[in-house]
């Protein structure tokens, strides 16, 4: 049996950071001299003094004439002074060196050319419109101290101050060693992946992150899961002059093929293995030939957070720079977030400004989902000693985007439809970001009730009268006047295997012996539609095999059919198409966007209303296939008027 690791003993993140910085965080002694013009983002290793003054001479600050101020002191409208060009008034342009003993510039508009000379009706003060030598920079003065980070603005000061090259710290060299026999280069055509193969993406993410905090990086090709192979690569890497930090990626946890810790024990020593944070729990830190080796977990979000919490502070510390904390904001939770005691959790959240409050909706927590961080607007840290946060709780989030972007977000919660992606694509150029959470139609209406979204995507059929959404709204939102904005009529049908091998044509076919159905969760519009179909066809649900097996999205239903665990499920054509399955159209249904009347004037909702009425949007929606667009953009309601604001 292969030997498995267990974490040595998990330590808190604070302690892990402390060990990291204490062991490896001293400011680097490696320096180099580089051209000032190339120094953006680099950190000065020494203070830089100006080599020249700027301006280097007294120069004209305006276009006009350089003069001696004292010759104009008695000038007035009634007793103008006349100056002679090239005798005591010399034409100058902005930036030109003042000639002779002139000590002021009179603007061209202030003089008139007359036979007697240049007429001046007001005195000019000494040094008026003159930029004196060293006004901006005086040679020998300090331009920037050591550890200053050079910005594009700084380049201007360096070059004007006569500093053509600067001493900077060498960028800490980060070597990334992805590990895992399943990994294949990101250059590989994804269509040619064999089952079990995984595209190696983490090294690219970590490399760019290293760059963003002042490091330099290279990545080796993926290393097979063999402990000796990893150990020899670690040893070799640690001896390289250009490598200051090593990141192994994957293989840090307890699997039979997770060799990072063993390889570290063979080649150096382990400082810690396991942090009470999630994602990021299995991080290992070791030392090989006095260099830090991080065993970064393979899950993409764990890898990113491990980098942000440990590697970024280390690189900055090596460059003598302080850690920068994310901006914070106060948020209110749209739903409860339970959390495990003993682990500091990093929950990714969406944010939106709804009725004057910033609402936070948690994203899926799986550390394997990169989209849980690309979709995230902020991160909530739930401390290790907390069991979580309750619905409505007020707390502090760390922003991953500028607050302006969050103010311009439209949060749509409810049932998913591909038309929402199309809408998102039309909203983006208008500066509005559509953020959508897929929790089913009922979930969307409940989100409106709790004021935790702008709009709900909903297709709730009332079998008693064939209407959509209206009755569910009356039931769920009796106190909230809402508008219904018609998005489209779409076709629901059976998602079946390619070629429809079981020849499913209508609802009654689901009764065939041996046919396994996959259902949707109660409360979803599709489940209601399914039950309606059964009722219409007088079919008893218990007679359908698999009726009690539920999935929560169209895609999950399609995936069940693809995997062979089910033969048919009700869903939309797009999900069947995404997995190259067949689709048997069954019945049209109305999909609407519901929003509270009090949000009617918000710019995001106004933009949606406008877009839905455009020909371009409607035509692209039609082109998606499976949609009828006759009523797209039609606004209904509210059935009740909003209560007067007091």
Contact footprint for ligand MOO (CB under 6 A): 278-282, 297, 299, 302, 367
**Least separation in angstroms between CB 219 and ligand LQZAQKY5:** 9
- The separation between CA 71 and the C-alpha centre of its own chain, rounded to angstroms, equals 64
Q: Does 56 bind ligand LQZAQKY5 (CB under 6 A)?
A: no
Name the DSSP class of 392.
Answer: T
Two structure tokens written together for 362: 């948690």
Specify which residues 486 forms β-bridges with.
Answer: 592
d(CA 319, CA 214): 8
CB of 212 to ligand MOO, least distance (A): 21
Task: Round the CA-based radius of gyration of the chain to a whole number and report it.
Answer: 34
Q: Which is nearer to ligand MOO, 55 or 282 (CB)?
A: 282
Residue 535 Cα distances to 306, 352, 539, 541, 555, angstroms: 53, 40, 6, 9, 25
525 binds, among ligand LQZAQKY5, ligand MOO, none (CB under 5 to 8 A by kind): none
Question: Tokens 């519901």 map to which residue?
Answer: 594
> For the window 483-512, what string marks contact with ligand LQZAQKY5 as x by the rule CB under 6 A?
------------------------------
Q: At 415, phi and psi to the nearest 5?
A: -80, 145
* Structural contact between residues 226 and 259, judged by C-beta atoms closer than 8 angstroms: yes
Residue whose CB is less far from ligand LQZAQKY5, 225 or 533: 225
Q: Provide, rounded to whole angstroms, the least separation between the CB of residue 317 and ligand LQZAQKY5.
A: 24
Q: Structure tokens of 574?
A: 């797009």
Residues 6+ apart with CB under 8 A from 116: 82
Phi, psi of 57, rounded to the nearest 5 degrees = -140, 175
Burial environment of residue 182 by CB neighbours within 10 A (0 to 12, 13 to 18, 19 or more):
middle
In the complex, the smallest distance separating the C-beta of residue 282 from ligand LQZAQKY5, rounded to whole angstroms, is: 5
Shortest CB 12 distance to ligand MOO, Å: 14
Please give the helix or strand (H or E) that residue 618 lies within, else none. helix 615-624
**Does 200 contact ligand LQZAQKY5 by CB under 6 A?**
yes
Please name which of 430, 435, 432, 426 lies closest in space to residue 457, comparing C-alpha atoms. Answer: 435
| Minimum distance, C-beta of residue 283 to ligand LQZAQKY5, in the bound complex (Å) | 9
Please choose, out of 133-141, 196-204, 417-425, 450-458, the segment that lies near ligand LQZAQKY5 by the rule CB under 6 A. Answer: 196-204
Secondary structure tally for the chain: helices H, strands E: 17, 40
Q: In whole angstroms, how close is the CB of 10 to ligand LQZAQKY5 at the nearest point? A: 10
Residue nearest to ligand LQZAQKY5 as judged by C-beta position = 298
Note whether 218 binds ligand LQZAQKY5 by CB under 6 A: no
CA–CA gap between residue 543 and residue 509 (Å, rounded) = 12
Please tell me the distance from the alpha carbon of residue 470 to that of residue 46, in angstroms, as a whole number.
Answer: 70
Q: Which is nearer to ligand MOO, 338 or 603 (CB)?
A: 338
- Residue 582 interacts with which of ligand MOO, ligand LQZAQKY5, none, CB < 5 to 8 Å by class: none
Site string for ligand LQZAQKY5, 362-401 (x = CB under 6 A): -----x----------------------------------
Compare residues 172 and 178 and give the one whose CB is closer to ligand LQZAQKY5. 178
Judged by CB under 6 A, the residue of 25, 298, 493, 525 near ligand LQZAQKY5 is 298
Q: Beta-carbon neighbour count of residue 617 at 10 Å?
A: 21
The answer to the question of residue 567 lying near ligand LQZAQKY5 (CB under 6 A) is no
SS3 label, residue 1: coil
Q: Does 252 bind ligand LQZAQKY5 (CB under 6 A)?
A: yes
- Closest Cα partner for 178 from 158, 146, 197, 201? 201
Closer Cβ to ligand MOO, 130 or 343, answer by number: 343
Output the smallest distance, CB 227 to ligand LQZAQKY5, in A: 13
Tokens of 302: 């764990």
Number of residues in the chain: 646
Pick the closest to residue 459 from 449, 481, 444, 479 (CA basis): 444
554 token code pair:
């169209």
180 binds ligand LQZAQKY5 (CB under 6 A): yes
Single residue of 106, 183, 227, 528 touching ligand LQZAQKY5 by CB under 6 A: 183
What is the rounded end-to-end Cα distance, in angstroms, of the chain? 72
The option from ligand LQZAQKY5, ligand MOO, none interacting with 250 (CB < 5 to 8 A, set by class) reads ligand LQZAQKY5
Stretch that binds ligand LQZAQKY5, among 94-102, 237-245, 291-299, 412-420 (CB under 6 A): 291-299
**CB closer to ligand LQZAQKY5 out of 20 and 302:** 302
CB of 278 to ligand MOO, least distance (A): 4
CB 460 within 8 A of CB 492: no
Distances (CA, A) of 462 to 526, 551, 635: 12, 22, 20
Q: Which of 54, 128, 171, 203 binds ligand LQZAQKY5 (CB under 6 A)?
A: 203
Q: Which residue has the tokens 């490896």?
A: 24
CB of 225 to ligand MOO, least distance (A): 19
* Selected range binding ligand LQZAQKY5 among 252-260, 354-362, 422-430, 447-455, rule: CB under 6 A: 252-260
307 with 332: CB under 8 angstroms? no
Taking CB under 6 A as the criterion, the residue among 172, 207, 250, 313 binding ligand LQZAQKY5 is 250
Contact 153, 147 (CB under 8 A): no
Minimum distance between the CB of residue 16 and ligand MOO, rounded to whole angstroms? Answer: 13
Q: Residue 264: which of ligand LQZAQKY5, ligand MOO, none does it interact with, CB under 5 to 8 A by kind?
A: none
Least distance (Å) from ligand MOO to the CB of residue 333? Answer: 21
H or E, element range at 607: helix 603-612
Find tokens 């060799």 and name the residue. Answer: 259
Interacting partner of 183 out of ligand MOO, ligand LQZAQKY5, none (Cβ under 5 to 8 A depending on kind): ligand LQZAQKY5
Give the interface with ligand LQZAQKY5 as residue ranges (CB under 6 A).
178, 180, 182-183, 198, 200-203, 249-255, 258, 279, 281-282, 297-299, 302, 367
């Amino acid at each position: 049996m292969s030997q498995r690791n267990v974490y040595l003993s998990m330590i808190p993140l604070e302690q892990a950071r402390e060990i990291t910085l204490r062991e490896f965080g001293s400011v680097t002694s490696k320096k180099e001299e580089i051209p000032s013009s190339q120094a953006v983002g680099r950190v000065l290793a020494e203070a830089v003094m100006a080599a020249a003054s700027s301006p280097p001479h007294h120069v004209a600050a305006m276009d006009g004439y350089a003069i001696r101020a004292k010759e104009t002191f008695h000038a007035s409208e009634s007793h103008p002074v006349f100056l002679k060009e090239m005798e005591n008034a010399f034409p100058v342009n902005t930036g030109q060196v003042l000639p002779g003993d002139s000590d002021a510039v009179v603007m061209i508009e202030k003089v008139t050319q007359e036979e007697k000379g240049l007429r001046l009706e007001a005195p000019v003060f000494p040094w008026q419109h003159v930029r004196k030598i060293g006004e901006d920079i005086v040679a020998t003065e300090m331009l920037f101290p050591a550890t200053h980070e050079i910005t594009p603005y700084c380049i201007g000061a360096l070059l004007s101050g006569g500093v053509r090259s600067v001493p900077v710290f060498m960028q800490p060299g980060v070597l990334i060693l992805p590990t895992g026999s399943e990994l294949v280069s990101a250059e590989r055509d994804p269509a040619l992946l064999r089952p079990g193969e995984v595209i190696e993406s983490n090294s690219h993410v970590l490399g760019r992150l290293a760059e963003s905090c002042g490091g330099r990086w290279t990545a080796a090709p993926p290393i097979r899961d063999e402990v000796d192979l990893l150990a020899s690569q670690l040893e070799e890497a640690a001896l390289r002059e250009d490598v200051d930090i090593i990141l192994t990626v994957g293989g840090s946890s307890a699997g039979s093929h997770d060799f990072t810790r063993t390889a570290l024990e063979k080649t150096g020593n382990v400082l810690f293995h396991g942090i009470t944070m999630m994602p990021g729990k299995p991080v290992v830190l070791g030392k090989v030939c006095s260099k830090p080796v991080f065993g970064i977990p393979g899950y993409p979000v764990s890898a990113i957070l491990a980098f942000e919490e440990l590697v970024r502070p280390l690189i900055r510390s090596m460059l003598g720079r302080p850690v920068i904390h994310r901006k914070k904001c106060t948020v209110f939770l749209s739903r409860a977030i339970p959390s495990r005691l003993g682990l500091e959790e990093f929950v990714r959240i969406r944010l939106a400004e709804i009725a004057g409050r910033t609402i936070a909706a948690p994203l899926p927590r799986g550390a394997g989902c990169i989209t849980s961080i690309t979709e995230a607007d902020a991160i909530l840290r739930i401390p290790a000693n907390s069991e979580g946060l309750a619905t409505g709780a007020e707390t502090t989030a760390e922003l991953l985007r500028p607050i302006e972007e969050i103010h311009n977000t439209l949060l749509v919660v409810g049932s998913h439809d591909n038309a929402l992606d199309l809408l998102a694509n039309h909203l983006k150029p208008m500066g509005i970001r559509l953020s959508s959470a897929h929790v089913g139609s009922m979930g969307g209406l409940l989100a409106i009730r709790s004021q935790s979204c702008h709009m709900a995507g909903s297709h709730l059929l009332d079998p008693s009268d064939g209407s959509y959404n209206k009755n569910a709204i009356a039931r769920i939102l009796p106190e909230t006047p809402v508008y219904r904005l018609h998005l489209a009529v779409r076709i629901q049908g059976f998602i079946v295997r390619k070629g429809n091998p079981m020849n499913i044509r209508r609802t009654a076919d689901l009764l065939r012996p041996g046919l396994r159905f996959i259902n949707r969760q109660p409360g979803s519009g599709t489940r209601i539609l399914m039950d309606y179909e059964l009722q219409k066809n007088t079919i008893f649900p218990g007679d359908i095999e698999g009726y009690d097996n539920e999935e929560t999205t169209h895609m999950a239903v399609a995936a069940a059919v693809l995997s062979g665990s089910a033969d048919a499920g009700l869903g939309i054509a797009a999900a069947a198409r995404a997995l190259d399955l067949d689709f048997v159209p069954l019945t049209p249904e109305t999909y609407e966007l519901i929003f509270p009347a009090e949000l009617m004037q918000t710019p995001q909702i106004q933009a949606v209303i406008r877009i839905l009425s455009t020909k371009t949007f409607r035509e692209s929606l039609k082109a998606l296939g499976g949609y009828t667009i006759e009523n797209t953009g039609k606004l209904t309601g509210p059935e009740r008027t909003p209560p007067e604001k007091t």
